[in-house]
Amino acid sequence: MLSYQHIYHAGNLADVHKHALLAVMLDYLTRKDKPLSYLETHAGRGLYALDAAEAVKTGEAAAGIGRAEALFPPDHPYRRALDRIRDAHGAAAYPGSPLVAALTLRPGDRMQLAELHPREFAALEATMAPYGALCRQEDGLGFALARTPPDPRRGLMLIDPSYEVKADYAALPPLVAKLHAKWNVGALTLWYPILKTGAHAPMLAALEAAGLPKALRHEVSFPPAREGHGMVGSGMFVVNAPFGTEDAARDIATRLARLS
């Protein structure tokens, strides 16, 4: 579990899918003049250098945001976050989901972030210090249960484990159900990989069988990032999906389909 470092995968097409939809959902939620909470279970380091040796080694960023950035117009919430981070940190900088969220939230909104890996957590704290985020070096799934319902109650949680711990697939459906029972107004957003092995399929079946309200399942497909890579798509399962999420997801899928 502590071997995973997202720098090898930052900016890949799964990140583009996840971060673009996250940015749109938060953009909608911040239009209402009421404070909100943003929580994230596996925050990573928050900011990535796509010219780092790890990112260059896998080539996932080059095949991902390197090709997809031009598909998003300057006024898209995701593109706005990208441009602001590059203006501040250079052309090779890429924002993880904590920074995508921070650049969308307003004064008075609250961020709570969990990351267990010691080095990633230290980097996360440094990156997020200017944004007033509360960072915790904790197991993400335990953090999710302990921090709900948040204050303010209105808000969104992103759950995006690495799935290197195979037990996550079985643990997540009951966790999402418990989180909804504790926080029935929260937009619970679960990212998952689409795998050649189909390991994600029983998890999705269990989530859909739970009958959670305003549930949206959205997936995009793409070729493996490199030979032998098992991920062939990206999925988002959203409970209490904000208004317009389905249309925004369809728009993102249409844009990414142009890469085929």
Torsion on CA atoms 104, 106, 110, 112, rounded to nearest 10: 30
Sort strands 155-159 and 37-40 into parallel, antiparallel or unpaired.
parallel
Cβ-contact 210, 173 below 8 angstroms: yes
Which residues have a Cβ under 8 Å from the Cβ of 130 and sit 6 or more positions away? none
Cβ-contact 207, 215 below 8 angstroms: yes
Is 160 among the catalytic positions?
yes
- From the CB of residue 105, how many other CB atoms can be counted at a distance below 10 Å? 21
Which of these is catalytic: 33, 160, 247, 251? 160
CA distances from 77 to 23, 44, 72, 173 (A): 5, 21, 9, 29
- Just list the catalytic residues: 160
